[in-house]
Amino acid sequence: FFYFPETHGISFRIQINVKEVLDTDVFLKLLFHLPVNYPSTVLDISVNSDQLTRAQCMDVREKLLEQAKKHLSEPMVHDLILWVQQHLKDVIKQSATVGKEKTTLSKGTEDGIWMLLLHLDHMRAKAKYVKTVEKWASNLRLTGRLMFMGKIILILLQGDRSSIKEYLILQKSSKVDVDSSGKKCKEKMMRVLCETELQSRHKRFQMFEVKEYSALEELQKEFETAGLTALFTEFIPPLFK
């Protein structure tokens, strides 16, 4: 367990092993972000596991946030860990049985505002690539940032889920860059770091901007201002290792 002291609170990661789920051990990585006024304010949680699907991790996260609301104004991290150890099996079972219903019921969610965080390995034809990303974002009415920090290139987008999905298809299928010999080529080194529904605590970007940052602190501030501290803590520091 480790933590990152921040001006906007504390983040720490805990890994737990839950026995006897689907006849196997499940290792859960829980990232907690405690805001400065915790426990008066609900904390933020990220859930990851190699044994569970992304949808199952999202379901576990939703249930944990529901539990967190019940413990408002009292320390809750320990209770949340105990709760997930006792109820993980039920959440996964429920997730599997309502999977089909969820696709019909979640049409509202489908149309909700989603967020996408991408990591690009490089841009050889930078000017052309940037213009293309700006054009796609504009056409699909997506807001956010194209961020450069040293060799790190990130694209953070917000918008309708259908537009986010369409953007991903364009990014993967179009010839957006050039290879080492100068021939046009598709983006093969892109990684989707996070694709999730925008929460009420997250701030909406009003426009799409291209920004360069000279220090990691500047980049961190960009995420913090948008209410995305937990997203930064989970995905950005590992890129510098």
> Of 200, 194, 225, nearest to 8 (Cα)?
225
Q: Got the DSSP string for 85-110?
A: HHHHHHHHHHHHHTHHHHHHHTHHHH
- Residue-wise pLDDT tens for the chain (241 aa)? 444 454 556 878 888 888 755 567 788 888 888 888 887 887 888 888 888 887 888 889 889 988 988 888 888 899 999 999 888 888 887 766 554 444 433 333 445 789 999 999 999 889 999 999 999 999 899 999 999 999 999 999 999 988 898 898 888 888 888 888 889 888 888 899 999 888 877 888 999 999 999 999 999 999 999 999 989 999 999 888 7
pTM attached to this predicted model: 0.57
Task: List C-alpha distances in Å: 88 to 64, 74, 99.
Answer: 10, 23, 16
Amino acid making up residue 157: L
Identify the structural domains of the chain with CATH numbers, from first to last.
Answer: 10-96 (3.10.110.10), 114-239 (3.30.70.100)
The whole-angstrom separation of Cα 59 and Cα 19 is 19
